[in-house]
Chains A and B, each alone.
Chain A
């Protein structure tokens, strides 16, 4: 068992967990990661009047005045939009921009790059259920990641083993809400509760999980047709569908 430090902080309405397997982790290292998230919030939070995204949406900043990070996010958004045939679009019908489907994964990925730069090889960074894992855990095995039961967040329904990869889960349904077919009231309807996407990094996983979820049951097909990505989708009847390469991670 190797030494490791884990720290959890609640920032920006999310729980952020960082675990680093190393005997030389300092407070400064951990602060670096969490401050990075605070900076992301300052720039991207809708609930701050002076955040860059709020200023952009209030038309106070023009495109050529965007910060480097903001320009990066907008460029990534455009790329994702093309790759998903428009299912992923940060512009809402009213013209307001909401890049939140990208920012979380991108921020986690950047935070993990900061740790790599500091020389750490074995760690994970997790925020709001999206995770970037690097190297091995403290028992020198791949990181074991449980996929949450959308019917009960205290339970897990699948375990995957990851190394140097990202996993993001997108979902938005009431856990187990009973929804009936309006044409046949005795019948329960199916909807997608969550889709978990595994990819080479959490940024990619996050953006495709977001798009795949928006596609409903076709989302799993979208990921199936995407090289290097696997997914596990759970519907409101408790049925899970996985892409054909998903079993590699079991």
Chain B
């Protein structure tokens, strides 16, 4: 059997086993992270109205030197007017003993709200505290201290996870031609042109569907789709859709376990025209309703355990 055939064979093996797996995941079995994020939305807290009134009576003759503090902030992430309106769920980020997930809300191109979908300190927010006479407390603008100290107290861990989740939400909202990078995308399609799609993740799920019409979980023209992952699921259950639809750019999947599948009737797992599809992996599952890889470009596969799949060859 020539190398070309071997390669198709390997991918096709995965298809059949993975169609079953992905169908199970999508329509039954244990709830996936999407279900969890929907459940948690009922406990979401909005910061937009809650605190505005508290501060209207506080004054300071010393407003904070925002320019000084903000030099580290304007790193390209916060760009007024460079976000698309909508709501974007960030990745579920690890804050050590728990996870943090945020939802960013963009209105008129600006970030107007950040909702906590989950946090390690996720608690019931519905009970108001009763006592509430709060005396006037001393307020001051914060000032950078230059003295040396023995130890520092900060909320570093949770902050990092929060930032990680918020950054991923904002990345989805960004209107720009810069690369789309995801730590983890949840329930969103990636639809972009000319930019690379880079997914570097321990666990990424990108799902489109169910719907009719030609959707793709990742649709990319002219850019590379790079998935470097321990476990990436890219799937769609729509008719006529592809899990990855890419024209002209390479699709590179370097992974310990990448599942690229579709259970659509006339879709492909990877539809790639004119570009290379390189899959270097210990276990890549490419599942599809009809074809595994449909491309007119060159398909190269360097899988280690190719021989294992030799008997599963199926013609497409």
Contacts and interface: CB of A to CB of B under 8 A. Distances in A.
B123 A152 contact: no
A177 B141 contact: no
Nearest to B107: A182
B43 A244 contact: no
B157 interface: yes
Nearest to A152: B72
Interface stretch (A63-71, A86-94, A113-121): A86-94
19 contacts: A87-B129, A89-B123, A129-B153, A129-B154, A146-B145, A157-B143, A157-B145, A169-B153, A170-B155, A171-B158, A173-B159, A178-B110, A216-B54, A221-B132, A225-B131, A235-B51, A238-B64, A239-B58, A239-B139
Contacts of A235: 51, 55
Contact of A178 (B78, B120, B139, B162): B78
Contacts of B142: 149, 157-158, 234, 238-240
Contacts of A14: 96, 157
Given A84-B129, A128-B156, A176 B149 contact: no
Interface of A: 12-14, 17, 19, 44-47, 84-89, 92-94, 98, 100-101, 103-104, 124, 126, 128-131, 133, 137, 143-153, 155-159, 167-182, 185, 189-192, 194, 196, 210-211, 213-218, 220-222, 224-225, 234-235, 237-244, 246-247
Contact of B151 (A143, A192, A215): A143
A250 B97 CA distance: 32
Contacts of A214: 121, 123, 125
Nearest to B122: A92
Interface in B128-147: 128-135, 137-145, 147
A199 to B, nearest CB: 12
A175 B73 contact: yes
A147 B154 contact: yes
A85 B124 CA distance: 10
Interface residues of B, number: 80
B121 A46 contact: no
Nearest to B163: A174
Given A94-B36, A171-B159, A174-B159, 8 more contacts: A87-B125, A93-B39, A131-B153, A150-B154, A156-B152, A157-B144, A177-B114, A237-B66
B73 A176 contact: yes
Contact of A190 (B52, B94, B122, B154): B52
B114 A100 contact: no
Contacts, number: 284
B137 A146 contact: no
B112 A182 contact: yes
B119 interface: yes
Interface in B75-126: 78, 80, 94, 96-100, 105, 107-108, 110-114, 116, 118-125
B68 to A, nearest CB: 9
Interface in B1-51: 36, 39-40, 42-43, 47-48, 50-51
Instruction: Tell me if A's interface is mostly helix, strand, loop or mixed.
Output: mixed
B70 interface: yes
Contacts of B150: 19, 124, 137, 143-145
Given A144-B150, A145-B151, A216-B50, A100 B120 contact: yes
B60 A239 contact: yes
Nearest to A125: B151
B71 to A, nearest CB: 8
Contact of A104 (B55, B97, B100, B166): B97
B69 interface: yes
A217 B121 contact: no
Contacts of B50: 216
A192 B60 CA distance: 17
A172 B162 contact: yes
Contact of A218 (B54, B112, B149, B159): B54
